[in-house]
Amino acid sequence: MALRVGVVGGGQLARMMIAPAVELGVELRVLAEEPGMAASLAATAVGDYRDADTVLAFARDVDVLTFDHEHVPQDVLSALVDAGVAVRPGPEALRHAQDKIVMRTRLAQLGMPQPDWAAVSSPDGLQDFLDAHGGRAVVKTPRGGYDGKGVRVVGAATEADDWFAALAEDARGGALLVEELVDFSRELAQQVARRPSGQMRAYPVVETVQRGGVCAEVIAPAPHASERCMELAAQIGVTIAQGLDVTGMLAVELFETTDERILVNELAMRPHNSGHWSQDGAVTGQFEQHLRAVLDLPLGDPSPHAPWSVMVNILGGPAEDSLDDRFAAAMTEHPSAKVHTYGKAPRPGRKVGHVNVSGDDLDDVAYEARAAASFFGD
Amino acid sequence: MALRVGVVGGGQLARMMIAPAVELGVELRVLAEEPGMAASLAATAVGDYRDADTVLAFARDVDVLTFDHEHVPQDVLSALVDAGVAVRPGPEALRHAQDKIVMRTRLAQLGMPQPDWAAVSSPDGLQDFLDAHGGRAVVKTPRGGYDGKGVRVVGAATEADDWFAALAEDARGGALLVEELVDFSRELAQQVARRPSGQMRAYPVVETVQRGGVCAEVIAPAPHASERCMELAAQIGVTIAQGLDVTGMLAVELFETTDERILVNELAMRPHNSGHWSQDGAVTGQFEQHLRAVLDLPLGDPSPHAPWSVMVNILGGPAEDSLDDRFAAAMTEHPSAKVHTYGKAPRPGRKVGHVNVSGDDLDDVAYEARAAASFFGD
């Protein structure tokens, strides 16, 4: 009898679990938000992940429940655990991905290097932080932000007035997170897989290139990374995975500073855009590794099988342009490019796929990946 | 709108098209022989592929129809073509995979190197062939044989009496194929992908190791193959793909003789066991390449991304043994092994999965692949 994994959320991360599930002989079931989503091939249910009864009914027949995103509310997660469902990652771990103040507090306890930060519940508190940090800082809403949403660089406390007003309306109350504006030279990401029984495997640290607050490109491994940087990043990933009891894939987004420090920026407790390169560039891709980890199966080898891999996201152009039309042209010019599509209607700025290229020479690999992806760009 | 590929047959070859279909954004539809088959995730219909109405109804909404096997009868194929369905490979090409005498006749016309052969319709004819070839030969039923079935080494014409008797009963009449017993040093296989518009890509020639008439192991590329051997094999593959107007993947099974000749043994016009290594060991795996070829999309790079890949088939043990139980043990000991399962109930001698390993050192790679597969063996 095949093991059954339920995935809450029908987006591209769930979609990309389908291929390794077929290979491993795992039966994948997906609770999609609506019909026709990226993971619709495996969608066995459609419903609202914020409704406990819906998720409980979906989870009844699965061996393990995991996620396409971290937005399932804590009361729903608790109801699942109470009903005996194996929820991976569990509610306690997910709290750190759902609330950035909870995350910062816990990382401080673990001694993880991070930007200076504070939880501020009033413009006065924010102004104090600004005054102490050169007049500029990053303000974040603790909950609900992703891909640059809920993040704002401010030079005066008044620039967050609307968010403070929203806080006052929010029954959960709370505070905004303010962080030091880090003088970083580049952004890195460290992925670690962890099983409930404790086994962990770290992927090589990668460089992520953001444009407009959205991940545009990933280079694996991070070029010119020193031995010390690689070890430190892996150590940070392993410490957080263990310290927060993460199961499945963990991604730690990092800043590398001009003075050679590494600081934790964000966490994601699921397969992550920074790990898409591993689908074609590593012995065990992150989607297979996530399934193995949440099922508590032995983890696979995360080693790259080429010196360099580059992943370039495809952001959807105008809706009248079909992805298919550009596909043949990209395939003709770039036979070594691995194009992954998400089955999503193109829309400006929307991630609708990505391209992976691996090889011996970084310049060649990056050129091929960018050129292939450019066929699809806006 | 996604391109739609219909696959007749719900076995493991159809199953292994699912992963690349998801990546390419192709909608895969499968006509399975019965519920619960290997490709059931993509099965949109269940029915008899020998029934023209069933296949026509299935093919109505697809852009291209292709196959998990070569057994769809010619009258059904003709009805599809008459109805305007894009059938790839087409009926004319498939005739050569369905009838070994038709295949031998055509290969002779193309000047392809092959064993001495004859179509014999009586024991006397067979005895003449035996007398001219040292008293021993291989007799094959022209239709319906695979994996060693319908193949018999004989030392006397009487040893094929039952097959001649069956011929006499068969309304289609015809003859048996008799072939010289080739003194081969090893078996090779050459794969070529071909698009309807003519583009072709040859994979490196591989060595196949058979046990009990069934493929047990594949080494890619074939060890110690000379430049001349590799070029000749690729040339044979390309000539046959073109000469027989094959579309999709073609596999040419070859004998390498002790006197360094290469002779064509069998053909398969679909993804083939000899190409499973390419799923994890080549830039473009054969299942992705087959989809690209039948859709007339530009073909991908067939280059290996490691010096060596070894594929070892998993033959199912006694039915009471579950594949899952052995999975964790294999994964623990062999984290670099890629295990592919077919979702089939284990049965002695039945192919239920395979293991791929790639790397720099052939001895290490072969050891890992065999050791990982041995967890699943009978």
DSSP sequence for A13-72:
HHHHHHHHHHHHTPEEEEEESSTT-TTGGGEEEE--TT-HHHHHHHHTT-SEEEESSS-S
Whether B300 and A331 lie within 8 Å, measured CB to CB: yes
Cβ–Cβ below 8 Å for A24 and B341: yes
Using the Cβ of A299 and the Cβ atoms of chain B, whether some distance falls under 8 Å is answered with yes
Least confident of A178-182, B39-43, B186-190, B265-269: B39-43
Tell me if A324 and B1 make a contact (CB, 8 A cut-off).
Answer: yes
- Specify the pLDDT at position B326: 79
> How far is the C-alpha of B272 from the C-alpha of B105, rounded, in Å?
23
The answer to whether residues A275 and A249 touch, using CB atoms and an 8 Å cutoff, is: yes
Delimit the CATH 3.30.1490.20 region(s) of chain B: 116-180
Question: pLDDT tens digits, residue range B54-83?
Answer: 999 999 999 999 999 999 999 999 999 999
Our CA angle for A286, A292, A297, nearest 5°, is 150
Burial (CB count within 10 angstroms: exposed 0-12, middle 13-18, buried 19+), residue B173: exposed
CATH topology (fold) of B4-87: Rossmann fold (3.40.50)
C-alpha–C-alpha distance, residues B377 and B364, integer Å: 20
Nearest CB neighbour to B25, from listed A3, A292, A341: A341
Confirm whether residue B182 is marked as ligand binding. yes
The pLDDT confidence band at residue A350, using thresholds 50, 70 and 90, is confident
DSSP, res A377: -
Residue B179 assigned ligand-binding role: yes
Q: Which of A283, A314, A340 to mutate to test the interface with B (most CBs of B within 10 A)?
A: A283
pLDDT given for residue A277 in this prediction: 98
CB contact under 8 A, B303 and A3: no
The whole-number pLDDT of residue B317 equals 63
Mutation test of the interface with chain A: which of B4, B23, B292, choosing the one with the most A Cβ atoms within 10 A?
B23
Q: In this model, does residue A235 exceed pLDDT 90?
A: yes
Interface predicted TM-score (ipTM): 0.89
Q: What is the pLDDT of residue A6?
A: 97
pLDDT for A317: 63
* Phi and psi angles of residue B75, each rounded to the nearest 5 degrees, phi first: -65, -35
- The reply, when asked if residue B333 is annotated as ligand binding, is no
- The reported pLDDT for the residue numbered A158 is 94
Peptide bond connecting B89 to the previous residue in cis, omega within 30 degrees of 0: yes
Task: Identify which of A207, A205, A229 has the alpha carbon closest to the alpha carbon of residue A216.
Answer: A207
Distance from the Cα of A27 to chain B's closest Cα (Å) equals 9
CATH 3.30.470.20 residue window(s) in chain B:
184-374
Q: Does B295 touch chain A (CB under 8 A)?
A: no
Whether the pLDDT of residue A61 is over 80: the answer is yes
If pLDDT is split at 50, 70 and 90, which confidence band does A111 have?
A: very high
CA distance B19 to chain A (A): 4
CB spacing of A358 vs B305 below 8 angstroms: yes
Instruction: Consult the annotation and say whether A179 binds a ligand.
Output: yes
- Contact in structure between A41 and B23 (CB atoms under 8 Å): no
Is B332 a residue whose pLDDT tops 80? yes
Pick the closest to residue B350 from B310, B327, B319, B312 (CA basis): B319
Q: What average pLDDT does this structure show over A168-185?
A: 88
Instruction: State the first-to-last Cα distance of chain B, in angstroms, to the nearest integer.
Output: 46
**Average pLDDT score over residue span A62-77:** 97
Mean pLDDT of chain A: 93
Please say if the pLDDT value at position A318 is more than 70. no
Chain A CB contacts of B331 below 8 Å: 292, 297-300
Dihedral (CA of A315, A318, A322, A328) sign:
negative
CATH 3.40.50.20 occupies which residues in chain A? 4-87
C-alpha distance from B100 to closest chain A C-alpha (Å): 33
Other beta carbons less than 10 A from residue B41's beta carbon: 20
Q: What average pLDDT does the segment B360-377 reach?
A: 92
pLDDT band at A143; cut points 50, 70, 90: confident
The DSSP bridge pattern shows strands B4-8 and B27-32 to be parallel
Which residues of chain B are within 8 Å of residue A303 when distances are taken between CB atoms? 336
Pairing mode of beta strands A27-32, A43-46: parallel
Contact criterion met (CB < 8 Å) for B297 and A327: yes
Residues A116-180: name the CATH superfamily. ATP-grasp fold, A domain (3.30.1490.20)
Residue A246 has a pLDDT of: 98
Edge-to-edge strand order for the sheet containing A176-180? A117-120, A176-180, A137-140, A151-154
> What's the confidence (pLDDT) of residue B349?
80
Q: How many CB atoms lie within 10 A of CB B370?
A: 18
CA–CA min distance B237, chain A (Å): 20
Selecting from B1, B298, B305 the residue whose C-beta is nearest the C-beta of A331 gives: B298
Strands (E), chain A: 4-8, 27-32, 43-46, 64-67, 117-120, 137-140, 151-154, 176-180, 184-194, 200-202, 206-211, 214-220, 248-257, 262-268, 308-315, 338-341, 351-359
Residue recorded with tokens 């769809």: B72
- Chain B: residue whose CA lies nearest to A17: B19
- 8 Å CB contact of B322 and A1: yes
Closest approach of B269 to chain A, Cα-based (Å): 23
Q: Report residue A216 as tokens.
A: 């545009």
**Residue A346: is its pLDDT beyond 90?**
no
Alpha-carbon gap, residue B139 to B127, rounded angstroms: 11
Nearest CA in chain B to A321: B1
Q: Which of A10-19, A187-196, B139-148 has the lowest mean pLDDT?
A: B139-148
**Residues in chain B, total:** 378
Pairwise CA distance, residues B314 & B346, whole Å: 10
Answer whether B1 touches A (CB < 8 Å): yes
Q: Does A292 touch chain B (CB under 8 A)?
A: yes
Residue reference for tokens 């397969």: A271
- Taking 80 as the threshold, does the pLDDT of residue B146 lie above it? no
User: Which of these ranges, A156-160, A312-316, A347-351, has the smallest mean pLDDT?
Assistant: A347-351
pLDDT at A236: 98
Q: Which residue matches tokens 């894939």?
A: A249
- Give the residue-averaged pLDDT of B246-265: 96
Choose, out of B22, B30, B309, B336, the residue to mutate when testing the contact with A (most A CBs < 10 Å): B22
Ordered DSSP codes for B278-299: HHHHBSS-HHHHHHHHHTTPPP
Higher pLDDT, A32 or B43: A32
The CATH number of the structural domain formed by B184-374 is 3.30.470.20
Predicted local confidence at residue B2, as pLDDT: 82
Q: Does B297 touch chain A (CB under 8 A)?
A: yes
Name the nearest CA neighbour of B87 among B63, B69, B51.
Answer: B63
Q: What pLDDT, on the 0 to 100 scale, is given for residue B18?
A: 95
Among A69, A61, A53, residue whose Cα is nearest residue A86: A61
Q: Out of A335, A340, A358, whose CB is closest to B300?
A: A335
pLDDT tens, position by position, A36-56: 899 888 878 999 999 999 999
Say if the Cβ atoms of B324 and A283 lie within 8 Å. no
What residues of chain B, 321 to 350, have a C-beta less than 8 Å from chain A? 322-324, 327-328, 331-332, 335-336, 338-343
Confidence tier at B328 by pLDDT (50, 70, 90): confident
What's the mean pLDDT in A135-157? 85
A43 touches chain B (CB under 8 A): no
Strands A4-8 and A27-32: parallel
For chain B, what is the mean pLDDT?
93
Check whether A320 is labelled as a binding-site residue.
no
Q: For A262-297, what is each residue's pLDDT tens digit?
A: 999 999 999 999 999 999 999 999 999 999 999 999
pLDDT at B321 over 60: no
CB–CB contact A335 B1 (8 Å): no
A101 backbone dihedrals φ, ψ, rounded to 5°: -75, -40
B340 and A23 in contact by Cβ < 8 A? yes
Write the CA distances from A21 to A26, A292, B41, B88, B361, integer angstroms.
5, 9, 11, 28, 29
B266 is in an annotated binding site: yes
CA distance A220 to chain B (A): 16
B283 touches chain A (CB under 8 A): yes
Residue A354 is predicted with a pLDDT of 95
Query: Which A residues in the span 13-32 are in contact with B, Cβ-Cβ below 8 Å?
Result: 15-16, 18-20, 22-25
Q: Which residues have CB under 8 Å from B45's CB, separation 6+?
A: B29, B30, B31, B32, B54, B57, B58
Element (H, E) at B44: strand B43-46
Token pair listed for B201: 């890509």
Residue that has been written with the tokens 């809403």 in this structure: A141
Nearest CA in chain A to B44: A41
- pLDDT grade, residue A213 (50/70/90)? confident
Question: Residue for token digits 């994601």?
Answer: A268
Does A259 lie at the interface with B, CB-CB under 8 angstroms? no
pLDDT of residue A244: 98
DSSP H or E run through B54: helix B52-59
B217 assigned binding-site residue:
no
CA distance B341 to B15: 10
